[in-house]
Homo-oligomer: A and B are copies of this chain.
Amino acid sequence: MKKTIIGVMGPGDGATEIDNKNAYALGQAIAENGWVLLSGGRNVGTMDAACRGAHDAGGLVVGILPSKDGSDASQAVDIQIITAMGGGRNVINILSSDVVISCGMGAGTSSEIGHSVKIGKPTILLNTGKKAEEFFKELAPELIYVAKDVDETMKLIKKLLSS
* Residue from B70, B80, B84, B118 within 8 A of A91 (CB atoms): B84
Contacts of A108 in B (CB 8 A): 114, 118
Contacts of A135 in B (CB 8 A): 110, 131-132, 134-135
Closest chain B CB from A139 CB (angstroms): 5
Residue of B nearest to A86 (CB): B84
* Residue from B84, B107, B129 within 8 A of A88 (CB atoms): B84
Docked complex: A64-79 residues within 8 A CB-CB of B: 64, 68, 70, 73, 75-79
Interface core residue of A90, A91, A134 (most chain B CB under 10 Å)? A91
Closest chain B CB from A40 CB (angstroms): 12
Let me know if A100 is at the binding interface, CB within 8 A.
no
**Chain A: how many interface residues by the 8 Å CB criterion?**
54
CA distance A135 to B125 in the complex (A): 14
Which of A1-9, A23-31, A155-163 touches B? A1-9
Give the B-binding residues of A (Cβ under 8 A). Answer: 1-3, 5, 36, 55, 60, 62, 64, 68, 70, 73, 75-88, 90-92, 95-96, 105-115, 117-119, 129, 131-132, 134-136, 138-140
Q: Can you give 7 A-B contacts (C-beta < 8 A)?
A: A60-B60, A64-B81, A79-B79, A83-B92, A90-B115, A110-B139, A134-B134
